[in-house]
Amino acid sequence: MRVGRISTLIVIIASAVLQLGSQSVQPTITITSIPAWGQDGQISGNLYGANAQTALYLFAFVPDLGWQGLPNPCSSLPVQGGQFSVSTSSNPVLHSATRISAYLLPANVPVNCSGTSTIPFVIQHNALVTITYPRVPQFSTVTFAGLDWYVKDAPVQVYPGPQWFLKDNAYVDSQGQLHLGRVKWFV
């Protein structure tokens, strides 16, 4: 009788271990190093829970130029031992990049950039996981409609306008509605 209970317990434990082992782990990307704005350097990071059937793509957003692929337009980055690194020194335009985005895709997804200044649709909509890091930390963000939006803050009048932009005038309330206020100056 006792042997039957122990063997039943072993079968239950083995079944639970097999089920836990068969569950897929959600991959994650972390960017651990970004050179200061205006500087050359390495963008480095880690990739966890990915396998050989995935490809990592890295992009930098440069104001007035759009998204630039790293190291080349639409080439995937090599990941060795869960780590990746790419130099920004080969492209001086990247000095003024304001944010860095990484996308992990299934390796069998065909990617074609065709020289655009946007992140290709196929990358955005087939990504298993994505992450964006601001490079200029003083920028504020609001999350609305499933996206993170950078909030312009300028102590002097700037375009479009010219007008003042204050970060406190853009916020999302507790019901998820976006509010964009305007600066009222009385002369």
Residue 81 confidence (pLDDT): 84
What pLDDT is stored for residue 9 in this prediction? 47
Q: What is the pTM of this model?
A: 0.62
Q: What is the pLDDT of residue 6?
A: 53
The rounded average pLDDT for each run of 10 residues, N- to C-terminus, in the chain (187 residues) is 52 51 72 85 90 90 85 83 88 84 92 80 92 76 83 69 79 90 61
Tokens read off for 79: 């990941």
Q: How far is CA 173 from the centre of its chain?
A: 24
| Rounded Cα gap, residues 59 and 41, in angstroms | 15
Which of 69, 180, 184, 80 minimizes the C-alpha distance to 120?
69
Contact 175, 169 (CB under 8 A): no
Q: Which domains does the chain have, with CATH numbers?
A: 28-134 (2.60.40), 140-180 (no CATH)
- HSE-CB of 52 using CA atoms within 13 angstroms: 0
Q: Write the DSSP string, the chain.
A: -HHHHHHHHHHHHHHHHHHHHHSPPPPEEEEEE-PPTT---EEEEEEES--TTEEEEEEEEETTTEEEEESSTT-PBP-BTTEEEEESTT-GGGGG--EEEEEEEETTS----TT-SS--HHHHHH-SEEEEEESSTT-EEEEETTEEEEEP-EEEEETTTTEEE-GGGEEE-TTS-EEE-------
Query: Which of 68, 45, 39 minimizes the C-alpha distance to 135?
Result: 39
pLDDT of residue 4: 53
